[in-house]
Structure 1
Amino acid sequence: MQKTLQAPDLRAHCARILVAAGSSPEEADKVAANLVMANLSGHDSHGVGMLPRYVDAVLEGGLTPNAQVKTVLDAGALLSLNGQRGYGQVVGEQAMLLGMARAKEQGSCILALAESHHLGRIGHFAEMAVAQGLVSLHFVNVMTRPVVAPWGGADGRYGTNPCCIGIPLKQPADVRRAGPPQASTAPSGGSEVHEVTSVGAHFILDFATSRVAQGKMRVAHNQGKSVQPGLLIDEHGQPTTDPGVVVVPQANGFFGALMPFGEHKGYGLAVACELLGGALTGGGTWHHPTVSVRAVYNSMLTILIDPGKLGTQSAMESEAMAFVEWLRKSPPADGVHGVQIAGEPERRARVERERDGIEIDASTWEEIVGAAGKVGMSLTD
């Protein structure tokens, strides 16, 4: 039977498990808050269902609790950092703090973050940037079992390789009065990190370059649901609607694969994310046989731009809002309520799920309870 939990209770459960797995209370609270925010945003694929995998990765030695981001190169508007296989929700925020401060000083920053454990929802980092008035672009690769087939191929060869773009939009007066989320000013390598407490109506485009995120297939499999045609191929390279083909090994021990979105165009963007997020950052690319480990490593190339330093902020604000308003005047297509911009579905979901609670399917909750047991905890409610 599925459970419905309020966000504070779910955060508390997750934080307790993370502490038992070796994290400091501060780190546990940060990771738990990030996971639950993904659920609140409607992205259960990146939410608390990832916690069992994190616990397994810690126990295997592939995820290092309490690791801090390490500066490898500081060359003004160029930063090269290493996440030291720490929780991506923590080292990713530490990296963004350094990059945003540098962009504010110099007008832009190119930030290379290598060898982070799973960064979670990349839109979170874009939300950090736009809250400070910065444009951000993120290219990410995924180093774990390859789950996406190249266009024209019949097996998994790379990860879901997300791409994300955040663009600040001028806010209505009531949002501006509320002020932006407060960021810490932790020094390089410090443990204090930024937390987004409120997000205005900015443009946040965040998507996997596969037709659907791997985590969404895990959720569908746990719920016993089939998925729409065109998303998957099975272990023989044939189309299927069974999400289990990319979640559990099939009869021959092999897995199926996700398909790239947009055919050759999405495939091309996925390759760009692998080359920019993996090769250029120094984090590495996937080109070896599959290994059976639970750790998920991400490397991310981030470009941050301060429109104020560029001298185009006023023009950007007026032109961006004029374009958004132009889009909204398009007559609604049949069966929909009207035009949206990227970021709106997540903001709407947060309001609804904060009010109504977060639904966790029975299989996912059982996995979370099992993860608690692995670190000597009992989680019964």
Structure 2
Amino acid sequence: MNATHDSVRAQILSILTAWGSPPQNAETTAEVMVETDLMGVDSHGISMLMAYEEMLKLGQLRIAGQPRVVRDFAATALVDGADGLGHPAAVMAMKLAVEKAKTFGVGAVGVVNSHHFGAAGYYARIASDAGVIGMVTSSTRGILMVPTRASEPVLGTNPIAFAAPAGPGHKPVVLDMATTTVAGNKVKVYHLNDKPLPEGWVQDEAGRPVTDSHVANDYVFKRKEGGITPVGGPESLGGHKGYGLALMAHILGGTLVGASFSPLRNKSQRPDDPNNIGHFMLAVDPRAYRDMEEYTTDLDAVIDVLHGTAPTDPAKPVLLPGEPEEFSRAKRMAEGIPVPESLQKLIRAIAERAGVPYVLKDAEG
């Protein structure tokens, strides 16, 4: 089924509200999740409701928590996520970073005591939509990445996102990446769709590739040894780069702001302890360095050169980061968001437990 984006938003909103989320927080979270699905990042949209329900059931997620600013200096600030879902706290943090960037040239805002916040690219786009450059990193709760030469996971799929505004007629350049070959929840999407994984995404405890998505799902989410490889592969010369990027993302989105490091936290964490994930939002105003028109003229020229590069396949023109997501958004706005039958059953069950109607509506009728 391809569900209409309005029905996906309504379904998420009704469930979050039934769980006890304050109305504004529920609206913000639903908006982030739907936009993520529209952009084609199925791993971080409505399919996350199962994980959120489990966190709520364990008592880790304090969904009624209201994020607030607890430290505020000239160009920096710290937001306490109040142990709620990360979406409202992350939106608050990036909007504050943008405000500071427009006053001081740069704004750097951290978030602590948060949970999963969805796709990092959403928050980077808040900055580019406001005419400034944005960068986002985050710590993680899951232990999924197998470092280069290791046989067991240690780090998470710590994300890094970047967005730069361009001139009229050009879309912003948006990079949104996991520091592993693939985000952990994308393995879940393949599992839900009963599709084999590309080789190189997941390895077993002996370093062998795992392509069965159901087996891989166990390695990623059931704490078996083995897991997801860093960007560049488990043994390639590039593998250590993804590992290093994940560590950088944790230092900024975790250590700097006071969030937990899961391998250490697991030694003392109780099942109902909040996850204490951290995020880091950076906004930079190009006007601090040059006239905005000069900046956009130069960036537009870069974009045009890249678009003009001869492709290996004439039917597949050269794309910039962020463009596949924009194409997906246009297509899914028109045709709906794919929701496989396995996911429909899970969402229907969650809605029933929450005491709300199942309202996903097929875009085709």
TM-score with structure 2 length normalisation? 0.89
Please tell me whether residue 204 in structure 1 is matched to residue 174 in structure 2: yes
**What is the distance in 2 between the residues matched to 1:315 and 1:226?**
47
Please tell me whether residue 215 in structure 1 is matched to residue 185 in structure 2: yes
Query: Corresponding residue for 2:235?
Result: none
Please tell me whether residue 151 in structure 1 is matched to residue 130 in structure 2: no
**What is the distance in 2 between the residues matched to 1:246 and 1:38?**
24
Match of residue 13, structure 2, among 12, 15, 19: 15
Please tell me whether residue 254 in structure 1 is matched to residue 251 in structure 2: no
Query: Corresponding residue for 2:137?
Result: 139
**What is the distance in 2 between the residues matched to 1:228 and 1:302?**
32
For residue 249 of structure 1, report the CA deviation from its aligned partner: 6.4
**What is the distance in 1 between the residues matched to 2:90 and 2:70?**
15
**What is the distance in 2 between the residues matched to 1:343 and 1:9?**
25
For residue 378 of structure 1, report the CA deviation from its aligned partner: 4.7
Query: Corresponding residue for 1:170?
Result: 167
Please tell me whether residue 376 in structure 1 is matched to residue 361 in structure 2: no
**What is the distance in 2 between the residues matched to 1:72 and 1:24?**
20
**What is the distance in 2 between the residues matched to 1:40 and 1:281?**
31
**What is the distance in 2 between the residues matched to 1:105 and 1:218?**
42
Match of residue 320, structure 1, among 275, 278, 299: 299
- Where does structure 1 lack aligned partners over 5 or more consecutive residues? 173-199
TM-score with structure 1 length normalisation? 0.86
CA contact (8 A) 2:94 2:282 kept: no
Q: CA-to-partner distance for each residue in 1:195-216, whole Å, 9 max, x for gaps?
A: xxxxx71011010001011111
Q: CA-to-partner distance for each residue in 1:305-350, whole Å, 9 max, x for gaps?
A: 1111333533321211111111111111136521111111111111
For residue 58 of structure 1, report the CA deviation from its aligned partner: 1.8
CA contact (8 A) 2:148 2:240 kept: yes
> What value does the CA root-mean-square deviation take over the aligned residues?
2.2
CA 1:308/1:163 → structure 2, altered by over 3 Å: closer, same or farther? same
Equivalent residue letter for 1:170: G
Equivalent residue letter for 1:165: F
For residue 244 of structure 1, report the CA deviation from its aligned partner: 2.8
User: Which deviates more from structure 2 when the two are superposed, residues 308-317 or residues 86-95?
Assistant: 308-317
Equivalent residue letter for 2:355: G
CA 1:253/1:71 → structure 2, altered by over 3 Å: closer, same or farther? closer
Please tell me whether residue 28 in structure 1 is matched to residue 4 in structure 2: no
Match of residue 278, structure 1, among 241, 251, 254: 254
- Where does structure 2 lack aligned partners over 5 or more consecutive residues? 233-238, 361-365
Query: Corresponding residue for 2:124?
Result: 126
**What is the distance in 1 between the residues matched to 2:2 and 2:76?**
45
Q: CA-to-partner distance for each residue in 1:78-129, whole Å, 9 max, x for gaps?
A: 2122212212111111112222111111111121112211111111111110
Equivalent residue letter for 2:145: V
Equivalent residue letter for 2:313: D
**What is the distance in 2 between the residues matched to 1:292 and 1:240?**
31
The aligned length equals: 350
For residue 36 of structure 1, report the CA deviation from its aligned partner: 1.4
Q: CA-to-partner distance for each residue in 1:213-256, whole Å, 9 max, x for gaps?
A: 11110010111111111111124543211233443369x97253
**What is the distance in 1 between the residues matched to 2:139 and 2:127?**
20
CA contact (8 A) 1:138 1:165 kept: yes
- What secondary structure, in the 3-state scheme, does the structure 2 residue paired with 1:300 have? strand
CA contact (8 A) 2:49 2:347 kept: yes
CA 1:331/1:73 → structure 2, altered by over 3 Å: closer, same or farther? same
**What is the distance in 2 between the residues matched to 1:334 and 1:221?**
31
Equivalent residue letter for 2:24: E
Query: Corresponding residue for 1:160?
Result: 157
CA contact (8 A) 2:113 2:275 kept: no
CA contact (8 A) 1:248 1:255 kept: no
Query: Corresponding residue for 1:42?
Result: 40
Query: Corresponding residue for 2:95?
Result: 97
**What is the distance in 2 between the residues matched to 1:204 and 1:47?**
18
